[in-house]
Amino acid sequence: MRYLILLAALGLAACVEKPVDGRTAYLDNCAVCHGSGGQGDGPAARGLATPPPDLTTLAARNGGTFPTDQVMSIIDGLNRDPHFSKAMPEFGAGDLGETVIVEEDGLGTPVPMKLLVLTEYLESIQQ
């Protein structure tokens, strides 16, 4: 059901503004540190005190379930542990695009489109 709503939201967003592609958003904003394949081997990774994590193993490190809410929160900058690297920008402080309502268990939550498609892309690259 959640994915049906997501598809409807993506279709609605297409009417509002140019659709955002998750892979493009990733390559534009994340690949410099996390690498083009998401394995933490981007060109800027060598210069960081805390190495970027392998984003292809997020589900594996979470008992086989992709941690959607946690990933969105980390990208946005809302919920980061104290040990979290300050090198990662808080993308929620910038423009993440138009918001869409994502419904889960009868509760609608406004989510910026770029954050939504980026999270979906990260889910798609899980190993």
What is the per-residue pLDDT across 77-100, written as a single tens digit (0 to 9) for each? Answer: 887 887 778 889 999 988 898 999
Angle in degrees, 0-180, between the axes of helices 68-76 and 113-124, rounded to the nearest 10: 130
- Judge contact between 121 and 23, C-beta under 8 A: yes
Average confidence (pLDDT) over 111-126: 96
Domain ranges of the chain: 2-124
pLDDT in tens, 57-75: 999 999 999 999 999 999 9
Please list, residue by residue across 22-37, b when 16 or more beta carbons sit within 10 angstroms of its beta carbon and e when fewer do: beebbeebbbebbbee
> Rounded CA gap, 20 and 77, in Å?
20
Confidence of residue 17 (pLDDT cuts 50, 70, 90): low
Average confidence (pLDDT) over 9-34: 76
Q: Greater confidence, 126 or 50?
A: 126
> Rounded CA gap, 13 and 69, in Å?
21
pTM for the whole structure: 0.81
**Cα-to-chain-centroid distance, residue 77:** 11
- Judge contact between 102 and 108, C-beta under 8 A: yes
Average confidence (pLDDT) over 5-20: 51
What does the pLDDT read at residue 18?
54
What does the pLDDT read at residue 59?
98
CATH class as words, domain 2-124: mainly alpha
